[in-house]
Structure 1
């Protein structure tokens, strides 16, 4: 039976979701998307497949999934119906037909992640869905130096949570920098916030949150720049912690 394949590019605020992938008894982004498509089409004879998984409370400014159906659907019509019916924290950005050979996971090439954080003595409650707040004093300039150490080809075993057998730890980080946040602004944000930007072709489970956790420990004076460098050796142990998920945003996704 002939099938039609569509690539949906979309964004979402992940604070109330348990990640992308469907799971029993919890609300996920895929569950909400599938429920919306089922309402629009009037049946459940379709399949969605995401380009990657995200953790609970992680957001995405741009991510993608494929929708496979057994009927030819006008992309403009479906795109319009999605934005009419999706919840307010999920928005379709683009919908297009793709060939049957398109693989949304394997064709994903370059990913950009952002991690938003502040350094205030008291957290700002309305900012909680968007950023992490660290109450201890942070040496931001030292953290900027530490972030640059991750750039290039390194062994990232110390930055993978519960690795599976055969996991490839040698990976390349193309960009790893901390700067003052000018990407997202709101009047309920603290006066000064910071943005950690990381770019690469693929990341392991909790990798960026573990890297951010190591940089937080560096900023608090618990670790040194040498510790960061040594953590990228083959026999290194984890020196960070898994930073809170609500600061992490999948910022961009490019395909081959």
Structure 2
């Protein structure tokens, strides 16, 4: 009831929701406030709110928007990232260990695979309770690509582990969609799609390019805040999110344990040739995606 009161009374909305165990480097919320002095309120509200919050939750800016603004409905697109150890992309004849380092050829092949997600596709297999005929399963992906790699020290074992970050920007996402996109590629018939661990997933940014274009003459922009705020976000992200993701991954090996469960999932597809099966894992994934894009529902 309390949450319902907040939504109805304050018109409180979040731009994006996250699964359990998923972090947010940036989040936008909107609410209707009526302070006595708008200018004084805008100057003091950020510091006042942060004084009641822990260091892991920070308010970085506050701006006035149009009266009808809703953070989730006026958002053009959302950017997420997924950070994971590079040994997840090891070939079948390579050891999945902390010593693994991904090469440029594998990154290029991975980018080719991720690019298959771009555009409008039916993601009914990437959420729960949807059918192929459900038009709400159609989603548009703007971009999906690899980011930089980084070495992180495993304090317990005394060696360095390589991590890589994948970045995805889409108009909107369904429950578990991104984690399942990480787990497997497109299929046009119902199957058991593995869901990657939630640990490495981060809501990076919510975009308001259309809003800024429409109201740039009357209101401050919401897509870009300032270099100072962006620097604060970068520091916060590295200190409280990326560091914690790497720490937990090195302590629990959630990605490695998840990889061992893939054998339990039925991901066989009719029509894949023997030559395809003899290709590298990423190449095979690309073949599976191509077949599913241009096949009918079975």
Counterpart residue number, 2:140? 172
1:59 equivalent to 2:23? Answer yes
Residues 239/194 of structure 1: CA separation in 2 closer, same or farther (3 Å cut): farther
Instruction: Show CA shifts across 1:165-209 (max 9, x none).
Output: 955122221111134436xx7656954111111111111111100
Q: Which has the larger radius of gyration?
A: 2
C-alpha displacement at 1:144, in angstroms?
3.5
Distance 1:59 1:253, change over 3 A: same
Match of 2:190 in 1: 237
After the TM superposition, which parts of structure 1 deviate over 6 Å for at least 4 consecutive aligned residues?
134-139
Q: TM-score, normalised by structure 2?
A: 0.53
Q: Which runs of 5+ in 1 are unaligned?
A: 1-21, 24-33, 35-44, 122-133, 215-227
Question: What does residue 205 of structure 1 align with?
Answer: 175
Instruction: Describe how 1:28-43 pairs up with structure 2 within 5 A.
Output: none
1:89 and 2:56 are equivalent in the alignment: yes
Residues 48 and 135 of structure 1: is their aligned pair in 2 closer, same or farther, counting only changes over 3 Å?
farther
Superposition RMSD in Å = 3.3
Distance 1:203 1:163 in 2: 13
Alignment equivalent of 1:162, drawn from 129, 150, 154: 129
Going from structure 1 to structure 2, the CA distance change for 1:138 and 1:147 (only over 3 Å counts) comes to farther
Q: 2 CA distance for matches of 1:62 and 1:50? A: 11
Gaps of 5+ in 2: 89-95, 211-298
CA separation of 1:177 and 1:238: change in aligned 2, threshold 3 A: farther
Secondary structure of the 2:67 match is: coil
Contact 1:172 1:201 in 2 (8 A): yes
Distance 1:191 1:50, change over 3 A: same
SS of match in other structure, 2:60: strand
How far the C-alpha of 1:68 sits from its partner, in A, is 2.5
The C-alpha deviation readout for 1:195-231, integer Å capped at 9, x for no partner, is 11111111111110000011xxxxxxxxxxxxx35x1
- Number of aligned positions between the proteins: 184
Secondary structure of 2:203's counterpart equals: strand
1:78-130 deviation line (CA, Å, top 9, x unaligned): 11111222111111121112222112111011211100000459xxxxxxxxx
Q: Does 1:110 align with 2:95?
A: no
> How far apart are the structure 1 equivalents of 2:193 and 2:113?
13
CA deviation vs aligned residue, 1:50-87 (integer Å, no higher than 9, x gap):
11211111111111111323544512211111122211
Alignment of 1:118-133 (within 5 A): 118-119=85-86
Q: 2:86·2:101 contact (CA, 8 Å) conserved in 1?
A: yes
Give the TM-score normalised by the residue count of structure 1. 0.61
**Higher strand proportion:** 1
Residue 253 of structure 1: aligned partner: 206
SS at match of 1:80: helix
User: 1:212, 1:242 → 2: CA distance?
Assistant: 8
Contact 1:51–1:63 at 8 Å: present in 2 too? yes
Please name the residue that 2:116 is paired with.
149
| Cα distance in 2 between the residues matched to 1:239 and 1:166 | 18
1:88 partner SS: coil
**Cα 1:119–1:135, aligned 2, differ >3 Å: closer, same or farther?**
farther
Q: Secondary structure at the match of 1:205?
A: coil
